[in-house]
């Protein structure tokens, strides 16, 4: 944490030294949560802005990665809740432009399938589809534990639920993934048919 007497430049440098090594990890987690590259980029940008604004709240000697991932998770949850409460809005200019262009001239940025394809490329179609089928609560603990490598205690602090709940969600999420991926694993020879 930047000391109260440090200059703005020193504070910025200290923040960058702690935060920037986690950028790729934050982005990949944001992409798995949002499933859209542009949304993931926006989410990570918001996380860095919030983390910098509240950098004076970070306690030195604690786990910075867990602290910034908690900000990521909370920011994502808040956005998700806001989207659920608000009716979906349509930008009619984009819709009109999209449908007025010739079929072969459309820009991929308007197609969700393109963005989902980029997300799917991280794991392959089957694993991405299985992750996408999980509820947010289950997907978050799988990503934080199995992909990002956080301990149960750290995940508990990040998503603000008891450690027993983390372990239960992780167990159930893994059971769902196992069920969703059984045929794929047999087809690929990862497990024997039976």
Rounded CA separation 14/8 (Å)? 10
- DSSP letter assigned to residue 58: S
pLDDT at 62: 92
pLDDT at 118: 45
pLDDT at 100: 45
Domain annotation for the chain: domains and CATH numbers: 1-89 (1.10.1740.10), 124-194 (1.10.10.10)
Q: Interior CA angle at 35 toward 88 and 149, to 5°?
A: 135
Rounded CA separation 75/85 (Å)? 16
Per-residue model confidence as pLDDT tens digits over 61-73: 899 999 999 999 9
Rounded CA separation 17/8 (Å)? 14
pLDDT at 29: 92
Question: Is residue 46 helix, strand or coil?
Answer: helix
Question: What sections of the chain are H helices per DSSP?
Answer: 8-19, 23-34, 37-53, 64-85, 92-100, 112-120, 125-133, 136-142, 152-159, 163-187
Structure tokens at 158: 């990040």
Q: How far apart are the first and last CA of the chain?
A: 55
pLDDT at 188: 79
Residue by residue, pLDDT tens for the chain (194 residues) are: 445 567 889 999 999 999 999 999 999 999 988 888 999 999 999 999 999 999 999 998 899 999 999 999 999 988 876 665 555 444 544 444 444 444 444 444 333 333 444 444 545 678 888 888 999 889 999 999 988 899 999 999 999 999 999 999 999 999 999 999 888 888 877 788 76
């Amino acid at each position: 944490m930047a000391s109260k007497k440090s200059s703005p430049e020193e504070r910025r440098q200290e923040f960058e030294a702690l935060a920037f090594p986690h950028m790729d990890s934050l982005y990949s987690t944001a992409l798995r949560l949002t499933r859209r590259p542009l949304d993931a980029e926006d989410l990570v940008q918001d996380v860095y802005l919030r983390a910098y604004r509240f950098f004076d709240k970070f306690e030195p000697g604690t786990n910075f990665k867990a602290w910034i991932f908690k900000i990521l998770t909370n920011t994502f949850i808040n956005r998700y809740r806001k989207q659920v409460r608000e009716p979906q809005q349509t930008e009619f200019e984009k819709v009109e432009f999209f449908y007025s262009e010739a079929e072969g001239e459309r820009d991929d940025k308007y197609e969700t399938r393109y963005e989902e394809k980029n997300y799917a490329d991280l794991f392959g179609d089957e694993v991405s589809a299985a992750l996408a089928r999980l509820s947010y609560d289950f997907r978050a603990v799988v990503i934080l534990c199995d992909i990002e490598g956080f301990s149960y205690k750290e995940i508990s602090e990040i998503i603000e639920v008891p450690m027993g709940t983390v372990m239960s969600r992780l167990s159930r999420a893994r059971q769902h993934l196992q069920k969703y991926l059984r045929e794929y694993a047999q087809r690929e020879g990862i497990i024997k048919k039976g």
